[in-house]
Every structure is written in C-alpha cells, then in structure tokens.
Amino acid sequence: MKKQRVSLISLGCAKNLVDAEVMLGHLPPDRYEITTDEASADIIVVNTCAFIEEAKEESVETILDIAEHKESGQCRLLIVAGCMPQRYRDDLAKELPEVDLFIGTGDAPRIVELIEGWNAKAPPSQISTPDYLYDHETPRLRSSPFYSTYVKIAEGCDNRCSFCVIPDIRGTLRSRTIPSVVLEVERLVAEGVKEINLIAQDVTAYGIDRSGKSELVVLLRELVKIENLQWLRLLYAYPDGISDELLDLIAAEEKICNYLDVPLQHIDDLVLKRMSRRVDEAAIRQLISRIRHRLPDATLRTSLIVGFPGETDIQFNKLLAFVNEGLFDRVGVFRYSREEGTPAADLGDQIPARIKRARYHKLMKAQSRVSFRKNRELVGQIEPVLVEGFSEETELLLRGRSIRQAPDVDGQVYITTGRAEVGEIVPLRITDSTEYDLIGEIVGSGEEE
C-alpha cells in the first residue's frame, strides 16, 4: 500500500511543539512518510495555539491558507489539533467547515486511530478530556536540531491566574515521574543532544501534584549526573517557586545554565492582585535580590502584560519605571487579551486597544535600551556558545547561541572568526553587540587576538 504523506505545522510554544513531535512519533514509518512540503501531503495537521487573540488569529489564518491545498494539492485530510479545538470544541467545526477532523490537546497518542477511523460522515470533533501526559516510552519524532531539544516535565497548571485560559485547555497539573524524565534525557543525550530545555506551564510546580511539594531540585540533582549532558536550561518558573535551594543548585552545577525565565506579568500590587498572582511587589523585589545575590551573573528573562483591565496610567508608568531599572536582560511583552471564560474577562475597565498598543511599544522600547546596554557590558567577555550553523545572511558567518540565549525566544551570536562543527560548544570572545544579538570570535582559533 502506498505510504500516506503527512505534513505537520506546529504553532505557538515549545510545549505545543513537543505534542506535535509525539503525534509524528506515533505514525508508523511503514505506513506514513513525513514531509515538509504541504503541497504534496495527503494529510496535513495544524497544531494550534489559542492562548491569546493574536495566537488564535495566526491559527485561523494558517488553517485557511493550508486548506487551499485541498483544492490545489494532494491533501485529502486536514486535521486541526491542539489548543484551539480543545478550547472551542464543536463551535470551531461550525466556523471552519474546510477542516475534516479536530482533535484536542490530549489526543496526540490517538492520531493513527483517528486518521484511520476517519470517515466523512463521522462527527468532525474528536476531543478528549485533557489529561494526557507523555513519558520516556512515548514515541517522539524530534523536529529540533540534533543538539538541542525540549523536555516537558509536567503538563497543565493549577495556578489559575485570572487572565489565563491554559488551565482550561491543558487541564490540572500532572507531573512526570523523576525516573521517566531521567530516562528520556539519558536517551536524548546518548543520541547527541547537548542542550536540554526543561519546560512546563510552571517548572517550579513540578511534583506538587504527587508529593505536595516541588520536586524540581530533586529532579535536577538526578539530571546533572548524566554524563555528556552539557546545558540544562529551565524555562517558565513561577516567582514564588524559586527557592534558595534551587538558586544554590544552579550556582553550584555547571551544567545548569545560569539563566532564569520568571514571568512576573506586572509590578503594581493592585494589578497583581487582580491578576490573582501570588506575589506582590515586595516579594518580587526580594526575589530579584535573592537571585542577584546568589547568581550575580545570571541572565534574567521575564514576561509582562500591559493593558490588564483597570491598569491606570500611574500603574503602567510604575511598570515602565520598573523595566527602566534595568533588572532584566530580556523582557517579553504581551498586550492583555480578553479571553472568555477567564475571571479577568468579566472585570470592568477593559483598556482600549490603542492604549494597549501604545503601552506595549513604550515598554518594548524601554527594554530594548536596557538590553542594548546589557549586551554591551558583555563585550570582551568569553562565553560558551553552541554553534548552530551558517547565518541566514551569509555563509561566511557562523551563528550560534550563547549560554545566555534560550532557543526560539532570545537572540543569537554571529561568529566572525574561527571554525567549529554544528552542535559543538566553543568558547567565544564577544567583540560587539546589538540589543538582541552578540558578535564574537572563537577563542583559540589563532585569529582572534
């Protein structure tokens, strides 16, 4: 029988990407062939994001673009997976009749059964309760470069921030066991992965569902024992989950990147309270000084929301002043998105889009000055850099990421002098910088002096 050609487009965050890789991993290679050429695919899967309005718009645009392949290409089955169908269920099927099958966030392992059981007369939505969690035995076809990958240590979230739909889409917190994560990381490292990025909605909550307390430190202590693992990076840490014990471990263990991604969302106490965040300004400032005291050299990333309902000019200016203090190396800024079903959607004083936009630009501009200055301070330093290939602009330049730069969200390093293999970690002297990127030369190449 002719193999079915399958193409998959994954939108949104790294957590979604892991789900997409699990879907691909479940397709038996004797019956399915993966292709990046959508025009020649028999089956196309769009793995969607529905976190905020912009993400939903991108998802719908992608689905409509891809649907054209049903007319002009080979496509006989268009599947929409992930957060959008999980959130909108049957409503989405009414809105998008060009889609043949909708599957939810927990349905990745059922992909073959759903494809092979599909028929045009069956209901288009096949959405289960979002309680799935992959483990080390789950087949997963990695799409990231051979030297770097994400490992999801938990799924779902119990934090219930008032603006966030994720707990509804992804379910309650459920953590993988420590042996399962260790076995997966051991296998990935044996396959040549140098950098493991641990992800969850909140990595500090890892294990709380099982033992009532965070088991992140215990997990990290096991992971750092893995020989040949070089960089272990933590992404998405809820501020009140960052213990001194965790900071001390990051300081002591060379393998754990000196990098913290701590979404704070705001700094004003009243806004934080309305967001149902568990920390106030005093706690945030105490946390930053604890981090700086124990990890003076750490790269600190955060994300902030502008235009939350009721955010006054004074509260926004406080946030702007906070960014201008220059405490963060990188800041991701989001415009508040009114998401139905969340408590914040029902709050009065929704902020007009033009004000949100203006606040967004002001905050971005402020942080770009801070980032520029912080990157400037690195000039002259020697940093470990993971070489990723040639730069997009010219094959005369290699590019990579320093230990200070997470994949997909941070900038990169342009390497002007020296040779290295893709996937190699080399010492690099920083010679120049921009607000997002670094430029440097490999130490020991003989030409950098």
User: Where does this chain bind ligand SF4 (CB under 6 A)?
Assistant: 157, 159-161, 164, 166-167, 201-202, 238
Q: Are 82 and 49 in contact (CB under 8 A)?
A: yes
Q: Pairing between strand 382-390 and 330-335?
A: unpaired
Give the Cα separation of 79 and 91 in Å (integer): 15
For residue 146, which amino acid is it?
F
Q: Measured from the CB atom, is 51 or 88 closer to ligand SF4? A: 51
Give the Cα separation of 357 and 316 in Å (integer): 12
Q: Measured from the CB atom, is 194 or 301 closer to ligand SF4? A: 301
Give the Cα separation of 162 and 139 in Å (integer): 35
Give the Cα separation of 108 and 27 in Å (integer): 11
Nearest 5 degrees, angle CA 254-CA 260-CA 266? Answer: 170
Containing H/E element for 80?
A: strand 77-82
Give the Cα separation of 5 and 17 in Å (integer): 20
Secondary structure (3-state) at 259: strand
Q: Measured from the CB atom, is 69 or 356 closer to ligand SF4? A: 356
Q: Measured from the CB atom, is 347 or 420 closer to ligand SF4? A: 347
DSSP-H helix ranges across 194-261: 208-211, 216-223, 244-252
Least separation, in Å, of the C-beta of 218 and ligand SF4? 21
Q: Measured from the CB atom, is 344 or 439 closer to ligand SF4? A: 344
Q: Are 91 and 114 in contact (CB under 8 A)?
A: no
Give the Cα separation of 133 and 130 in Å (integer): 9
Least separation, in Å, of the C-beta of 209 and ligand SF4? 13
Least separation, in Å, of the C-beta of 238 and ligand SF4? 6
Containing H/E element for 16?
A: helix 14-25
Q: Measured from the CB atom, is 241 or 411 closer to ligand SF4? A: 241
Least separation, in Å, of the C-beta of 290 and ligand SF4? 20
Give the Cα separation of 253 and 204 in Å (integer): 18
Least separation, in Å, of the C-beta of 163 and ligand SF4? 7
Least separation, in Å, of the C-beta of 134 and ligand SF4? 18
Least separation, in Å, of the C-beta of 158 and ligand SF4? 8
Least separation, in Å, of the C-beta of 416 and ligand SF4? 39
Q: Measured from the CB atom, is 99 or 164 closer to ligand SF4? A: 164
Q: Measured from the CB atom, is 44 or 246 closer to ligand SF4? A: 246
Give the Cα separation of 45 and 221 in Å (integer): 38
Q: Measured from the CB atom, is 86 or 125 closer to ligand SF4? A: 86
CA atoms within 13 Å, Cβ hemisphere of 78: 22
CA atoms within 13 Å, Cβ hemisphere of 165: 20
Q: Measured from the CB atom, is 10 or 201 closer to ligand SF4? A: 201
Least separation, in Å, of the C-beta of 293 and ligand SF4? 25
Least separation, in Å, of the C-beta of 260 and ligand SF4? 15
CA atoms within 13 Å, Cβ hemisphere of 216: 29
Secondary structure (3-state) at 255: coil
Length of the chain: 449
